[in-house]
Amino acid sequence: MLMTAIEQAPPRQRADEPRADTDIATTRPGTPGGIFMRQFWHAVCRSRDLPAGSTKPLRIMSEDFAIYRTRAGVPQIVADRCPHRGALMHLGSVEDEAIRCVYHGWKFDRCGQCVEQTYPTREYLDLVFAYFGAGDPPPFPHFPHRTSPGLIQVWNAEHVPCNYLQSFENSMDEVHVAFTHQPGGSHAKMSVDLPIITAEETDWGMLRFGTRRTGKVRQTLHYAPNVTRVIVPPLAGMDGVGGWSEIYFSFTPVDDENHLWLITSHVEVSGKDAETYIAKRAEYDRKVAAAPPVMDLVRNIWSGKLRFAEATHPDLAVVQDIAVQAGQGRIEDRQNERLGRSDTGIILWRRILTRELRAIAEGRPAKKWQRPPAEVVPTLGF
């Protein structure tokens, strides 16, 4: 039997919790939040969505860019407008290793020749990452991945209509699984009891523990500032092949009211099992492609046309998560919450964010974030 939410909800916020004067949700340029976030690499799109020779507009942390991939296959991000007379760069064309502006044909190479600004752009785990901060970027890749044999599998890229922090916080909130994902879908088997949540700050982010009644502990990693690494059950449509996988969630701010939810994973399969998995995955991808967009279902749930518990979709867990998280509002009102015991991870992360943003705002030294060690990995806890 599940405990009720009431039984889970004790202490009111403590006096040292984030005050209203620190905006922990914004990532606009020049704000403490924007300066904080620009210290890190950010996932910006899936590799597969940027074929060689293509160009696209890109909006990250309230700033506009153009992203393209050279003929040789190298991704590159540049400022959104041409330095000549401000034409949109993503209207241009890729010529070998350069991009040519559509207006008067000025040509820009990857070293920033003729271009006002290029941004360090790399690829890892089938995602494109970029660095938008001042000075040299931190080492890349900025987090390790599982090295045992397996497949790297990238999942849907969702544009979520709310602030990134809501979804990053959701990933720290293991207790929601038993309620939000209870109506079927891939997480149903995690809904057996409610874990007790504890968390601790590390020199690379936050470690969070979910302790079950059995005494088993599930360890989840939250890499600063917006990546969660966790072990999850196979998605509903993938049952029977591939087993559990390690998933890397990136919550990248588009602006303060939207973010990209990019999901990539390491599925531990090899040999014949890998072939079976790939075939099953192709079938799953076909189902997702044929299904209505996730946001269509979410809007129908919000408007009351579709009951939450009756929604069906090959990506049901994603529909459920977005309905709940983006349903909190574009930027959740954090001043009027009543945080409970299950919010321990969220409370700690807000405290860390608030401390860092205040240090930035007041010109005091901020934390020197370290690259996470490869040996700290998520655990199953079942």
Distance between alpha carbon 370 and the CA centroid of its chain, in Å? Answer: 19
Is residue 151 at the binding interface for ligand FES, with CB under 6 A as the rule? no
Least CB distance to ligand FES at residue 93 (A): 12
Rg (CA), the chain: 21
Least CB distance to ligand FES at residue 83 (A): 8
**How far is it, in rounded angstroms, from Cα 274 to Cα 118?**
39
Least CB distance to Fe ion at residue 178 (A): 10
**Which residue in 104, 189, 287, 338 binds ligand FES (CB under 6 A)?**
104
The beta strands (E) that lie in the chain are given as 41-46, 55-60, 63-69, 75-79, 93-95, 98-100, 107-109, 118-119, 121-124, 127-131, 151-160, 196-201, 205-211, 217-223, 227-232, 245-255, 258-267
In which order are the strands placed within the sheet that holds 227-232?
151-160, 258-267, 245-255, 227-232, 217-223, 205-211, 196-201
- By a kind-dependent CB cut-off of 5 to 8 A, residue 84 interacts, out of ligand FES, Fe ion, none, with ligand FES
**How far is it, in rounded angstroms, from Cα 80 to Cα 349?**
33
Binding mask 268-307 for Fe ion (x = CB under 5 A): ----------------------------------------
**Which residue in 101, 190, 231, 262 binds ligand FES (CB under 6 A)?**
101
Which of 99, 262 has the CB closer to ligand FES? 99
- Residues facing 60 on adjacent strands: 63
Q: Which stretch binds ligand FES (CB under 6 A): 2-10, 103-111, 140-148, 263-271?
A: 103-111
Is residue 103 at the binding interface for ligand FES, with CB under 6 A as the rule? yes
Number of residues binding to Fe ion, judged by CB under 5 A: 1
Number of residues binding to ligand FES, judged by CB under 6 A: 9
Least CB distance to Fe ion at residue 191 (A): 11
Q: Which stretch binds Fe ion (CB under 5 A): 42-50, 225-233, 318-326, 353-361?
A: 318-326
**CA angle centred on 261, ends 259 and 266, rounded to 5°:** 155
**Which residue in 80, 158, 174, 321 binds Fe ion (CB under 5 A)?**
321
Is residue 85 at the binding interface for ligand FES, with CB under 6 A as the rule? yes
Angle of helix 316-325 relative to helix 294-303, nearest 10 degrees, comes to 50
Greatest CA separation for the chain: 68
Which of 103, 308 has the CB closer to ligand FES? 103
Is residue 287 at the binding interface for ligand FES, with CB under 6 A as the rule? no
Q: Which stretch binds Fe ion (CB under 5 A): 35-43, 66-74, 302-310, 315-323?
A: 315-323
φ/ψ region of 30 (left if φ > 0, alpha if ψ in -120 to 50, else beta) reads left
Tell me the one-letter amino acid at 158: E
Contact 171, 228 (CB under 8 A): yes
Positions in the binding site for Fe ion (CB under 5 A): 321
Positions in the binding site for ligand FES (CB under 6 A): 82, 84-85, 87, 101, 103-106
